[in-house]
Structure 1
Amino acid sequence: MGKTKVELTLSERFETAFNRIHKILKETVKQADTDKFTELVYKGHNHVLIRHYKDDLCQFAKLRNAIVHEKIDIDYYIAEPHLDVVEEIERIAAEFEEPRTGLSISSKEVYYFYEDDRVKDVLSCMKKTGHTRFPIYTNEDKYSWLLTTREIISWLTNQFDNPKIDLNQVKVKELYKKDEKEVVFVSQHATVFEIEDIYDDEKKDKIEAVIITATGKETEKPNGIITSRDLLEVALAEE
C-alpha cells in the first residue's frame, strides 16, 4: 500500500509538487523544443503566471536538483526542505493546475447590437457605459463584425460637413469598414494561458479582441471581451 499524503516526507511532498508544476509547464509552453524545467520557465515568459513566479520556480529547480541528487534510494533523501518551502510550492502547483479563466479578467458587461440598429443607440451606450467595442450581429443572430470607437469616430469625422445627417436614421451596418483586424472566439472555460497564446502567435497584431461565449461559437451571444490591454493590466497587477 502506498503512503498517504500525511505520511509523505517533506522531500517527497516537494518533489511531487515540483513534478506537478513541471507537467503544466510542458503542456503550456508551446514549441519550446525542450522539457527542461528552468528552460521552460524562461521560454514561458509570455505567460503572466509563469513570469510572476519565475524567481521562485528557478529556486525550486535548484533545490529539487540538490534533493534528488542526494537520494540514497528511491524513498530516502538526505536533504529535507523546510515546511514553509513545501507548502509554498504546493500552493503554486495548485494555482498552475487551476489557472484563472479568461472570463474572470474580461469585460463581463458586453453590449452588442444588430446591423439594423441605430448608430444613435450605440452612441448612447458609449456615453453611458464607456465601452469602446461592440459585437455586431446579423438579423439571423450570427456574429458579423466588431464595431469600435475607431470606426465610429472615423465615420463621424467624414459626416462632419453633412448637414442632412440624421443619426436616428443611420443604421449600424453603414459604419462597417473592412480591415485586417480579427476577432477570436473562445469558450467561457478557456484559461488565461490559452488567451495569452492567442495574442502571442504570429497574427497577434491583427487581433482586435477575444470574444468569450458559452462554448466559443460565433452564433452565441458574448459573455466577455478580452483585449491585449486587459492582459497587460493583469500582468501589471501581478508584477
Structure 2
Amino acid sequence: MEKPLVDYKNVEIRQGNRVILQNVNLSLNSGDLVYLVGEVGSGKSTFLQTLYQEIPIQSGIAEILGYRLNQLREKDLPKLRQKLGIVFQDFKLLPDRTIHANLSFVLEVTGWQKWAAINQRIDEVLEIVDMKGSEDKYPYELSGGEQQRIAIARAILNRPAILLVDEPTGNLDFITGKSIFTLLQHMAKEGTLVIMATHNLYLVREFPGKVFQIKSQTLQNITEKIYVREIKD
C-alpha cells in the first residue's frame, strides 16, 4: 500500500496563542487534487504554511514526504522544501529579471550547474505551462494570468512531489482562472499531489478533486457535499 505523502493525525495549529485549527486528520497521496476552501482568514494559507514549516506544528503527528514535522532538524528543512513547489498569491517574481533569469536563478541556487541542462529544463516547464516564447520578457510585460503560469513553472522546475498553490485565481478573470485550474488538474493526473487554497467553488465543481473546508477551527471533508451541490457559493 502506498504511503501517504501528507499524513496529519490529531494535529493542532497555532499562531501565537491563537488556535487556528485543531484535531486535523488528513491523508493525501500522489496524484490527488486537493482543495482547501473557507472564508477569508479561516486558516487556508496558514495550513499551507505548516507543510513547508513556515509555521510549526504544535501538537499531534504530522508527516510529509517521510519527514516528521515536529521533529524536523534544521539542517533537513532545505531538503524538504526542495521537494515542494510553492505558488504564492502575489507570484513573487523578480521584477528586474527576465523570465529566463527568474527560472535559471531557482535552478542555480538548488544545485544545477550545467547551462545546457538549465536551458533544457526551462524550455520544458515553459512548454508545460504554455508560455514558450516568454523567456526574454520581464514580469511587468505579462498579464496576471501569464505571471501566474510563470509562477507555476518556477514551482515545478525541480519536479516536486507536492505542489502547494495559494489562491491561484484570486485576481484573474474566469476564463484565465479556468485555464489555471486545467493546468493544475493536468499536473495531478501526471502524479503530482496538488494542494490548492481557493475561494472559487464554481471552478472546484468543474474540476473534481478532494475538498476540505476550514470552518470553526476544524478541517472538514466536504467532497460529497460539494459535488451534489449541497454547498452553495
TM category, shorter: under 0.3
Higher relative contact order (CA 8 A, sep 6+): 2
Structure whose residues are more often strand by fraction: 2
TM-score by length of 1: 0.25
Q: Which has the larger radius of gyration?
A: 1
Structure whose residues are more often helix by fraction: 1
TM-score by length of 2: 0.26
